[in-house]
Amino acid sequence: MRNVLKPSGHWLLHVIVVLSFCFSATVFSQEAETSAEAGTTSAETISANVSNEANSQPEFDSLVKELTQGSLPARAQTAKKLAALKDERVAKIIGALQQGTLYATKDENPLVAIADEAGNYTNAISGEKIIGDTEELKRVPINNSMRSQLRTLLAQLNLTHQDATIRLDAVNRMIADGIDEDSISLLQELQKSEANDGVRKAIDSAVALFNLHSNDQQLRLGAIEVLKDSLQQEVRTALSEVASNDTDEKVKIHAQLAIKAIDSSIAKYRFAENIFFGLSLGSVLLLSAIGLSITFGVMGVINMAHGELMMIGAYVTWVVQQVFPNQIAYSLAIAIPAAFIVAGLVGIAIERGVIRFLYGRPLETLLATFGISLILQQAARSIFSPLNRAVELPVWMSGSLQINPVFSITYNRLYILIFGLLVFFALLVILKKTTLGLKVRAVSQNRAMARAVGVRANWVDAMTFGLGSGIAGIAGVALSQLTNVGPNLGQAYIIDSFMVVVFGGVGNLWGTLVGAMGLGIINKFLEPYAGAVLAKVLVLVLLILFIQKRPKGIFPQKGRAAAD
Amino acid sequence: MLTQRLLLSDRGGMIVLGLVLVTMILVPICNLLVPETSALHISTFTVTLLGKFLCYALLALSIDLIWGYCGILSLGHGAFFALGGYAMGMYLMRQIGPRGQYGDPILPDFMVFLNWKELPWYWQGFDMFWFALLMIIVVPGILAFIFGWLAFRSRVTGVYFSIITQALTYALLLAFFRNEMGFGGNNGLTDFKDILGFPIAASGTRISLFLASGFMLIIAYIACRYIVTSRMGKVIVSIRDAETRTRFCGYKVESYKLWLFVFSAILAGIAGALYVPQVGIINPGEFSPLNSIELVVWVATGGRGTLFGAIVGAFTVNYGKTVFTSYSPETWLFALGALFVIVTLVLPKGLVGLFNRTKKVASKNSSSNTPPENPVPTTDAPIKFAVNKSTENSISAENPVIAAAVKEPV
Amino acid sequence: MKLKKIAKHVGALGIACGLTIASFSAAAADTIKVGVLHSLSGTMAISETTLKDTMLMLIEEQNKKGGLLGKKLEAVVVDPASNWPLFAEKTRELLTKDKVAAIFGCWTSVSRKSVLPVIEELNGVLFYPVQYEGEESSRNVFYTGAAPNQQAIPAVDYLMNEVKVKRWVLAGTDYVYPRTTNKILEAYLKAKGVKQEDIMINYTPFGHSDWQNIVSDIKRFGSAGKKTAVVSTINGDANVPFYRELGNQKVTAEDIPVVAFSVGEEELSGIDTKPLVGHLAAWNYFMSEENAANAAFIKQWKAFIKNPKRVTNDPMEAHYIGFNMWVKAVQKAGTTDTDKVVDAIIGIEAPNLTGGVSKMLPNHHITKPVLIGEIQEDGQFLTVSKTDNLVPGDAWSDYLEGSKDLESDWIKLKCGNYNTKTKKCLGAAAQ
């Protein structure tokens, strides 16, 4: 027997500390990044063009006020006029309007204010903080067409922003909106002075895109040369237009070659993207199946209420966000241990109340736990109403990591993938290196012998089931970031998770990992050909056939177990 | 002799069958002959409801046959039920003929508005009743044969078998949801007009369908009794109790299991076929894995391992469902959930077991010696001998064999 | 032995008695019963529970006004538990056992299809409050939700004319409503000169939660240099992960707007709205409509449900209109008798909550305004387009091969599916 590493009784604490540490570490590092981002996106432009404030002041005031009133098209015109003023406050106001953080009173002479994330208002014209009554302030409504006009305006204003990433966004925005005579002169001017490599490259492609339509054949060829490494969609669209419509054969051929090169690298990235999609789907399967792999694989209990334990975890996340409405960024760091404890306790209650009478009769546990799952579902409906609950995505979980224009990885998927692996390895460590793990294995191998040497088998059963349930709770936290939080959450995942455990091989954690990732990737590679529905059917049929071939999964149990 | 073996020795079954027969006689009389104003009149609503329960009872019987007697727990029996239902539904759809919404003489409505030009090949022949009848038996039978052959040959047993049957019905659920399949997608098949020329809504037809379901139940019951009391029945029970031993005794365990499974699937298919014209709709929801689990609970509630227990269970649970969903909708799931738990914990032999227990007390008092009436299902008896372990104990926490492999979870 | 026998007899007798008694509880004569047939458990409970409460509120309100024909109204609530055959069974129960005067209920198409034969057989009345695929007109059903021409087509018109969309993604859950709607839209778009390669159609299973590659495909489809929009008939639970994925992959409403037909205020109350801001929805009612009737309705609803945060939505309005029409029709007919009410209700007008007056048409559909709104961060809609006149619901789409010649008129033609070419009433009625 292995040495006991930790004093018994503290394992739960350890798990919580380890897990919450791991996760909060990612939270904090990410938080640092996003706060830096947020600081810059608030568009505090220090305009290079020194404005003539004295002259435009009254006009500026009236335009800002006009901006909050009248019809949407009229206000769009106002915004344009405002942008022409070259006042340094303009970018901030238009940015606020575009983001929906511009507020105004419904007076003839309205008070215009900008709200920040903490809910404080500052006067948009004077820049002073507004103290006191803000009840009258209503959000200035805008619609899509205005939002996109403002975005274009903002891009032009931000071309000279001090932050390189904002400049880059601005240039890309201009490319997406289409380059015309006005913008090209602005860009050509900037091309000379631009210090940042990335931004200059973007400006180069913008200029080249414009040159694709020039009358000069050499200029067009040069433009193709510049563009042939670019993966931007606009570039491909423009090039394919040239490749089919250009009057000059040579330009046509060059454009075709460029497209071929672009397409082949796009294909490579799409493959990578598909792998990531598969892994990400796999990580969701892994999270939902891993708790089951303990209760089913190690204890032999078929827990049909597993899905509902995930549902409990998801509701815990929602409750945490309700209790700390201003701390959404940290909510997950609280929700994960909380969900682990709540779901774990419910799990222990189920074990003590029902399952312990049914050991050795797995099919009976299936029926009893299915009954429990129905009760839990209806309880959720009674307590939280049948409506779904809105769990907010923290800022650091939203958005994506743009590797290049055709390949980006969404943050929430990425973190859930990492998180799934973390949970997996944490569980491995618990089972292999802790007292509890030792006892779990001892009891599951030879209950009588374990009891004879002083292991409290009942206690171990309860703790093991609690551990599996707690992990289901954690999985629920992760799922709340992807999908609905409602009474039906669990049902959607329970069958898939059983498939994963059986596919991987019961009682084998590594099998669960390989099974989950394998099924995820197979599914994602079938989907483009078969469609989402048929892909799922095919995976199930393959699974059924696979089980016939290898009844005990990918990693069957060896030795005497196999003889059964 | 045969009557003795099949029926007389089976008192519980006699009573249940007797009740079914009495209902079959009384219900038509009370529905058709007794005037509506009379207190003894039975409404068409009740007739349909009872007819539905009879189909459920037949379905429960088919599950009890394999689960209670052979230890095969299928969590996908709803699939066979639904396939039988679809076969019948397709016949009924073809019977609509030009009376559909669009007046197309051949194509069902859902094909017309999805711009299908001709009937898919698998819809051919369903305009003939005999063909539909054949398909009701053949389709679930063949599926069960292929599936069972693959599964039993590779000795997929116990929990694994349950889970892949669940995968089977889930895959079928998804497939039938697809509109491209040509089975009406989520809406399924509905708006039936008549069966064998008789209008489906007429009370005469309803009564006939009700009677047909009752007769089918009785015939199936006797057939099941015949199987379980035969020599084959003894082998089947021994497979349940000690599969490996039976195999070592020279029996072809796989074939016994396979044929029993196929037979059970056919019964389920027939139940589905009788069910569809009575409820008036068949849609992929019937394939839902949750439905199939619920079926198992009917059997467990009634008492598995006794054929009439399955019938009692199907009636009790469904009647409870009807009452609860009318009078106290919110509590239905609580009640059903609690039923699951209580039955498995307290009543491992179901309601029938409860009566048996009462009987035992009574017989002890009168010190009479009654022979054991039902085969004892050891699946729920406490495990005393290793050889007595049923297949479903294979991954028991107490099973040292399996546990050995769990030693290293890595 | 004996005891067991007796016990079994008693048990069986109990069952039999229960059934008999259940079928005999006759309706009390001094009230008018109204059936409420909405799932309170199962997957559809999420949407349908609200409608049950709406009906209870409307009935309570009517009773405060003195009831109907001098009698009190009594709601009979049953739970079909999201189980389609159970819908049919419960309908039969409501009509034969409780003898309800009218049923308000159903949400999904399949539940309506399941109920339809029963309601026609027993000659009941059903008010169906949800937008649906059309292609149906029953004598016994009144469709107070939107037909495709009252929701889908105006939405596409708006995108085409105002947003200048040239490329279309028709994304839906794989069931009959999206299938039919998309068939209609495809035909409509092609009639407007949109080429096949500019239309992408995608179907996903119910509750689909992994949208990564579909969103990525949409993004790619939308970057071909033409303005692209997504017309979404994605159902219920699949919406949250869909919009989240859109938000995370940075597909914004300015680039590729998504117009949805099944995302309303109630659904939005269960969604983190940030990634949805600016996306569109087409309905016949928005809670944000400003008029006195709507304000009163919202106030009444919040008081009834005792939750100031609850929202109102389009199907609730449909029940509001349908219930008021039924009340007026019963008053006009002076009885709740189905045949008389069915005739009396045609032409009845009842105020809707968007400031207009809806009218029951001879095809059993109603006139409704079509509103297009952009989702705002508070889960409400900003109306960006509203039809000038009320649009009459069309039972049979003009853009489908099989139904373009069909017409429904229960007054003049006495037929729900009259073929204008062959001059014949099709289907069962022809016999």
pLDDT of residue A56: 59
Q: Do B156 and A443 touch (CB under 8 A)?
A: no
Q: Do B45 and C23 touch (CB under 8 A)?
A: yes
> What is the nearest CA distance from B197 to chain C, expressed in angstroms?
14
**Phi-psi category of A190—alpha, beta or left, where left has phi over 0 and alpha has psi -120 to 50?**
alpha
Residue of B190, B195, B287, B364 for testing the chain C interface, max C β-carbons within 10 Å: B190
How confident is the model over B204-230, as a mean pLDDT?
Answer: 93
User: Which has the higher per-residue pLDDT, A2 or C155?
Assistant: C155
| pLDDT above 90 coverage of chain C, percent | 54
How confident is the model over C133-141, as a mean pLDDT?
Answer: 90
Cβ within 8 Å of B, A 270-299 = 297-299
How confident is the model over A196-217, as a mean pLDDT?
Answer: 83
Residue A338, pLDDT > 70, answer: yes
The interface pTM score, or ipTM, of the predicted complex is: 0.82
Structure confidence by residue, pLDDT tens digits, B9-43:
778 888 899 999 999 999 888 888 888 778 888 88
Residue of B92, B205, B325, B370 for testing the chain C interface, max C β-carbons within 10 Å: B325
Bridge-based pairing state of the strands C167-173 and C228-233 = parallel
Please give the residue of chain A at the shortest CA–CA distance from B72.
A363
pLDDT of residue A201: 83
pLDDT of residue A557: 64
Any A CB within 8 A of B358 CB: no
Query: What's the half-sphere exposure (Cβ side, CA atoms, 13 Å) at C140?
Result: 21
Of A277, A483, A484, the CB nearest to C212: A277
SS3 state of residue A212? coil
Amino acid at position B19, single letter: L
CA distance A424 to A422: 5
Which residue, C235, C237, C203, C200, is CA-closest to C217?
Answer: C200
CB C174 within 8 A of CB C141: no
Q: What is the 3-state secondary structure (H, E, C) of A324-335?
A: CCCCHHHHHHHH
CB A359 within 8 A of CB B398: yes
CB A261 within 8 A of CB A239: no
Which residue, B122, B86, B311, is CA-closest to B217?
Answer: B311
Residue A239, pLDDT > 60, answer: yes
Q: Do A492 and C257 touch (CB under 8 A)?
A: no
Which stretch of A75-79, A310-314, C360-364 has the lowest confidence by average pLDDT? A75-79
CA distance C338 to A520: 55
Q: Do A371 and B341 touch (CB under 8 A)?
A: yes
Which stretch of A83-92, A507-516, B292-301 has the lowest confidence by average pLDDT? A83-92
Q: What backbone phi and psi angles, to 5 degrees, belong to A384?
A: -105, 5
Of B170, B397, B406, the CB nearest to A540: B170
pLDDT of residue B157: 81
Structure confidence by residue, pLDDT tens digits, A392-411:
888 888 888 888 878 888 89
* Token output for A134: 């803000």
Q: What is the 3-state secondary structure (H, E, C) of chain C?
A: CHHHHHHHHHHHHHHHHHHHHHCCCCCCCCEEEEEEECCCCCCCHHHHHHHHHHHHHHHHHHHHCCCECCEEEEEEEECCCCCHHHHHHHHHHHHHHCCCCEEEECCCHHHHHHHHHHHHHCCCCEEECCCCCCCCCCCCEEECCCCHHHCHHHHHHHHHHCCCCCEEEEEEECCHHHHHHHHHHHHHHHHCCCCHHHEEEEEECCCCCCCHHHHHHHHHHCCCCCCEEEEEECCHHHHHHHHHHHHHCCCCCCCCCEEECCCCHHHHCCCCCHHHCCCEEEECCCCCCCCHHHHHHHHHHHHHHCCCCCCCCHHHHHHHHHHHHHHHHHHHHCCCCHHHHHHHHCCCEEECCCCCEEEECCCCEEEECCEEEEECCCCCEEEEEECCCCEECCCCCCCCCCCCCEEEECCCCCEEEEECCCCEECHHHHC
Any A CB within 8 A of B387 CB: no
Residue B181, pLDDT > 90, answer: no
Contacts of C249 in chain A (CB under 8 A): 400, 408, 410
Structure confidence by residue, pLDDT tens digits, A497-542:
888 988 888 778 899 999 999 999 999 999 888 888 888 889 999 9
* Token output for A120: 């404080």
Bridge-based pairing state of the strands B281-282 and C258-260 = unpaired
CA dihedral B319, B321, B326, B330 (to 10 degrees): 160
Cβ within 8 Å of A, C 255-274 = 255, 257, 266-267, 269-274
Contacts of A487 in chain C (CB under 8 A): 45-46
Please give the residue of chain C at the shortest CA–CA distance from B199.
C121
* Token output for B57: 């009872």
Q: Do A441 and B406 touch (CB under 8 A)?
A: yes
CA distance B177 to B187: 9
Task: Give the number of beta-carbon pairs within 8 Å between B and C.
Answer: 191
B89 confidence band (pLDDT: 50, 70, 90): very high
CA distance A554 to A502: 9
Residue A412, pLDDT > 50, answer: yes
pLDDT of residue A294: 86
Is the Cα torsion angle A498, A504, A510, A516 positive or negative in sign?
A: negative
Structure confidence by residue, pLDDT tens digits, B307-334:
899 999 999 999 988 888 777 777 778 8
Which stretch of A422-436, B174-188, C114-128 has the lowest confidence by average pLDDT? B174-188
SS3 state of residue B194? strand
CB A196 within 8 A of CB A226: no
Contacts of B337 in chain A (CB under 8 A): 371-375, 378
Amino acid at position B378, single letter: T
CA distance B309 to A290: 38
Amino acid at position B285, single letter: G
Q: Do C403 and B114 touch (CB under 8 A)?
A: no
Average pLDDT, chain A: 81
B376 confidence band (pLDDT: 50, 70, 90): very low
